[in-house]
């Protein structure tokens, strides 16, 4: 169900901008998500979303953003996508993100967008203009296996489509990279899985891969995740393994976390792909990445 509301505010100030890609201001144009990924942390009770399948549209968001940016004396980076993907299918109807980008360009702000959708290509001309100052896009790629993605990210565009979008964004000068998060224990713990993502990143000219080798498991989110795993034939045994290993812990780290992270970091360094969050300041302070040739190349 889609519900329209009028928000009281749209832009929040980030006290610690370096913690998430140097974002100075954050906005969420929607609540809920049509992608319906089975592992999504936003189902957690702390976010107070009564029904995660319901989409809340902040119909006055563009007006509020215009008023807020007009008053700002300091230019900064505006981030979006942390709580709700700004390029869900509903965006194609309401165009709140498109209009927001037009304002961000008008007032000469910068932008960082996190998304799991190739719908971002609709706004490629606006992003190209903002990129002359600084535009950064982080596209979530948890797997390059389209069939696996259909199970764990049923409402999102396929990874193959997202990777194609990364390549196009890179060509027009957008600072674009991959959010490799979450990584699901017992499902994504192989060298082949990591190699596939890293090789795809190189092919589409992603500048970075920011990773998390595990998944959060909070209350409602955990229950929903286990229910969905049990519905899939090849994953039916996994909820039991999760319960035995992780109990009611807040997060579930991959069993081979250290080997995965070590191998991943080494191979990315060899190929010149950053594994850090890169902000506007870091981007212009570190024009070139160093290449390294050390470390173990295999998981066991």
Angle, vertex CA 212, rays to CA 128 and CA 251, nearest 5: 135
Q: Domains along the chain?
A: 2-277 (3.20.20.70)
How confident is the model at residue 211, as a pLDDT? 96
How confident is the model at residue 283, as a pLDDT? 77
Mean pLDDT of 262-290: 81
How confident is the model at residue 266, as a pLDDT? 97
Q: How far apart are CA 89 and CA 83, in angstroms?
A: 16
**Average pLDDT of every residue of the chain:** 90
How confident is the model at residue 219, as a pLDDT? 86
5 band by pLDDT with thresholds 50, 70 and 90: very high
Mean pLDDT of 104-132: 97
293 band by pLDDT with thresholds 50, 70 and 90: very low
290 band by pLDDT with thresholds 50, 70 and 90: very low
Angle, vertex CA 135, rays to CA 120 and CA 266, nearest 5: 95
Q: How far apart are CA 277 and CA 282, in angstroms?
A: 9
Q: Which residues touch 120 (CB under 8 Å, ≥6 apart)?
A: 87, 113, 127, 137, 139, 165, 169
Check residues 280 and 223 and name the one with the higher pLDDT: 223
Q: How far apart are CA 200 and CA 40, in angstroms?
A: 24
How confident is the model at residue 287, as a pLDDT? 43
82 band by pLDDT with thresholds 50, 70 and 90: confident
Mean pLDDT of 78-98: 95
In this predicted model, what pLDDT tens digit does every residue of 95-116 receive, in sequence order?
Answer: 999 999 999 999 999 999 999 9
Cβ of 37: how many Cβ atoms within 10 Å? 22
Check residues 297 and 133 and name the one with the higher pLDDT: 133
Check residues 45 and 206 and name the one with the higher pLDDT: 206
pLDDT at 291 over 70: no
Q: How far apart are CA 297 and CA 186, in angstroms?
A: 21
How confident is the model at residue 285, as a pLDDT? 62
Residue 270, SS3 per DSSP: helix
In this predicted model, what pLDDT tens digit does every residue of 16-36 receive, in sequence order?
Answer: 766 789 999 999 999 989 999
Please list the alpha-helical segments (H only) found in 131-246: 146-152, 159-171, 191-203, 219-230, 238-246
- Output phi, psi for 241, to 5 deg: -65, -40
Please give the share of the chain, as a percent, with pLDDT higher than 70: 92
In this predicted model, what pLDDT tens digit does every residue of 132-183 receive, in sequence order?
Answer: 999 999 999 999 999 999 999 999 999 999 999 999 999 999 999 999 999 9
Mean pLDDT of 199-211: 97
How confident is the model at residue 46, as a pLDDT? 66
Q: Are 149 and 157 in contact (CB under 8 A)?
A: no
Q: How far apart are CA 241 and CA 292, in angstroms?
A: 37
In this predicted model, what pLDDT tens digit does every residue of 54-77 receive, in sequence order?
Answer: 899 999 999 999 999 999 988 999
pTM of the shown model: 0.91
Residue 189, SS3 per DSSP: coil
């Amino acid at each position: 169900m889609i519900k329209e509301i009028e928000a009281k505010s749209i832009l929040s100030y980030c006290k610690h901008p370096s913690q998430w890609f140097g974002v100075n201001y954050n906005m969420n144009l929607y609540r809920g998500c049509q992608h319906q990924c089975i592992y999504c942390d936003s189902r957690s009770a702390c976010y107070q979303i009564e029904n995660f399948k319901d989409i809340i549209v902040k119909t006055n968001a563009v007006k509020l953003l215009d008023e807020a940016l007009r008053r700002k004396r300091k230019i900064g980076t505006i981030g979006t996508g942390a709580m709700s993907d700004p390029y869900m299918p509903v965006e194609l109807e309401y165009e709140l993100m498109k209009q927001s980008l037009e304002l961000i360009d008008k007032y000469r702000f910068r932008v960082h967008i996190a998304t799991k959708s190739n719908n971002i290509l609709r706004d490629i001309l606006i992003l190209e203009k903002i990129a002359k100052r600084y535009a950064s896009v982080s596209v979530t790629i948890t797997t390059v296996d389209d069939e696996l993605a259909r199970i764990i990210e049923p409402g999102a565009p396929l990874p193959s489509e997202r990777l194609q979008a990364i390549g196009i964004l890179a060509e027009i000068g957008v600072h674009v990279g991959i959010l490799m998060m979450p990584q699901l224990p017992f499902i994504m713990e192989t060298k082949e899985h990591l190699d596939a993502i890293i090789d795809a990143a190189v092919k589409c000219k992603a500048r970075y891969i920011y990773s998390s080798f595990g998944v959060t498991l909070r209350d409602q989110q955990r229950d929903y995740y286990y229910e969905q795993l049990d519905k899939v034939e090849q994953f039916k045994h996994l909820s039991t393994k999760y319960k035995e290993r992780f109990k009611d812990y807040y997060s579930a780290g991959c069993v081979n976390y250290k080997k995965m992270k070590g191998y991943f970091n080494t191979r990315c360094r060899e190929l010149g792909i950053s594994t850090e969050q890169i902000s506007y300041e870091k981007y212009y302070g570190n024009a070139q990445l160093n290449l390294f040739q050390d470390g173990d190349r295999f998981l066991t």
